[in-house]
């Protein structure tokens, strides 16, 4: 992806996350995460916690399993936009 495409994808994910956050249920479809190891989940949740400003409460696989789809969208949007800036 080009930097401009990453920036656009990040913006669109951010908007989608805002919209999904207004839905009553923000459960992730389990099949989306079927290839994620526990190590992958812990790495992600710790990065999410640091980004979210609350690293002490986001450390474990159980914490990862509590994330809604809107959380994934917002955090991945941030990561894509940061990649676009540094590209």
Name the residue ranges covered by the structural domains of the chain.
Answer: 3-86
Averaged pLDDT, 49-73:
93
How buried is 32 (Cβ within 10 angstroms: 0-12 exposed, 13-18 middle, 19+ buried)? exposed
Backbone angles phi, psi at 84, to 5 degrees: -65, -40
Q: What is the mean pLDDT of residues 72-86?
A: 91
pLDDT digits (tens, 9 = 90+) for 31-59: 889 999 999 999 999 999 999 999 999 99
């Amino acid at each position: 992806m080009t930097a401009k495409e990453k920036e656009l994808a990040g913006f669109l994910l951010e908007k989608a996350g805002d919209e999904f956050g207004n839905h009553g249920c923000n459960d992730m479809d389990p099949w989306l995460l079927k290839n994620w190891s526990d190590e992958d989940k812990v790495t992600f949740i710790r990065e999410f916690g640091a980004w979210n400003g609350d690293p002490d409460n986001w450390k474990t696989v159980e914490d990862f399993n509590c994330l809604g789809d809107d959380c994934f969208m917002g955090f991945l949007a941030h990561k894509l936009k940061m990649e676009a800036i540094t590209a």
